[in-house]
Amino acid sequence: MHRERHTIRDWPIQERPREKLLSGGPESLSDGELLAVLLGNGSVRETALDVARNLLLREGGLARVGRMSAGELTRTSGIGPAKAGQVLAAFEIGRRCREVVPEEVAQIRGPEDVARHMGGRLAAMTCEVFHVLVLDAKNRLKRDVELTRGTLNASLVHPREVFKVAIDSRAAAIIVVHNHPSGDPEPSPEDIQTTHQLAEAGRIVGIPLTDHIIVAGHAYVSLAERGEVQNQPQRDAFRSVPEGN
C-alpha cells in the first residue's frame, strides 16, 4: 500500500518554521527549525526539519555543523550542493558579522577585548590560524591580517612576515593572536619561543609586540600577562594608553 507523504506545507501555519520566524522572530525558533529554514525542503522521505534535526543529532549541535565542509554536508541525505552552499554561506555571514569591531572596543584596552574580537571566528577553525592586529598610537585597531594557516596542531610564523605587515601598515604596535583547535589555550614551548622571537624583533625594528594571545573556544591566555613579552613592561602596555580618541 502506498503511504501518503506529508510535507511541512501540510502542517498548521503556526507550526511551520518559516512562518514562525516571520511572526515571532528568529529567536523563537529552535536550532533545528533555523537550519530547516535554510534547507528549504527535505528529501523524498523526510521533511526539511527531519533532515535538520538528524544532522544536528549526528554532529552534536549547531557549532559542529558550522565547521562542516561542503563535501561533508552533501554526504547527508537530503542535502545537495545547493543546500550545502546555503548553509555554508549562512555560517560564514555569521562569522563575518562577529569580526566587525564595535566602536566601544575599537580601542584595544586589554586582552579581553582581543579575545572578544577574535574568539567567535577562531572558535570554528579546525586548524591553527595566526593573525596580526595592527594598532595605532592610541591602541586603536587599524588592520586585522590573517597571516598563516597551519595544520591541526602547528602554525609556522616567521618574524619577517609579521613585521612586514606591521611596517607596511605603519603600525605603532602589534598584537598577534592564534587559536588552539584542541580547546586548551595553554601555550606550547613553541608558542613561547615564537613570542620571545617576535618581542625581540619588535624591539629591533621599533614596533613593539604588545601581546600574544592564544584563543581556545571561550578561553584565552595572554602571554604578556604571563610575563613572556619582555621587550618592555608589557603588563601595563594596554593601561599606558589613555581612553578615548
Q: What's the mean pLDDT in 205-224?
A: 94
Question: What pLDDT, on a 0 to 100 scale, did the predictor assign at position 190?
Answer: 92
Cell digits for 125?
577553525
Which CATH number do you get for residue 232?
3.40.140.10
Contact between residue 29 and residue 64 where contact means Cβ atoms under 8 Å apart: no
Residue 129 belongs to a domain: yes
Strand 209-216 and strand 173-179: the pairing is parallel
Quote the pLDDT of residue 48: 87
Any domain includes 183: yes
Beta strands in 15-140 (DSSP E): 129-135
Contacting residues for 36 by C-beta, under 8 A, at least 6 apart: 8, 17, 47, 48, 49, 51, 52
Res 95 pLDDT > 80: no
176 Cβ partners below 8 Å, 6+ apart? 130, 131, 132, 133, 157, 162, 198, 209, 211, 212, 213
User: SS3 of 82, please?
Assistant: helix
Task: Identify the weakest region by mean pLDDT among 2-6, 49-53, 72-76, 230-234.
Answer: 2-6
Asked if the structure places residue 57 within a domain, the reply is yes
| Overall average pLDDT of the 14-34 stretch | 83
Number of compact structural domains in the chain: 2
Q: Do 115 and 217 share a structural domain?
A: yes
Range of the domain at 22: 8-97
Q: C-alpha cell of 56?
A: 544536528
- CATH code for the domain in which residue 78 is found: 1.10.150
pLDDT value at residue 245: 46
Return d(Cα 93, Cα 91) in angstroms, integer. 5
Q: Kindly report, residue by residue over 102-124, the tens digit of the pLDDT.
A: 554 468 889 999 998 888 778 77
* Same domain flag for 114 and 229: yes
Q: What's the confidence (pLDDT) of residue 235?
A: 40
Please report which confidence band the pLDDT of residue 209 belongs to, taking 50, 70 and 90 as the band edges: very high
Residues 87, 132, single domain; the answer is no
Task: Say if pTM beats, i.e. exceeds, 0.85.
Answer: no
Confidence of residue 9 (pLDDT cuts 50, 70, 90): low
Same domain, 58 and 169: no
For residue 17, is pLDDT > 90?
A: no
Of 68, 97, 126, the domain-final residue = 97
Tens digits of residue pLDDT in 164-202: 999 999 999 999 999 998 889 999 999 999 999 999 999
* Same structural domain, 214 and 119: yes
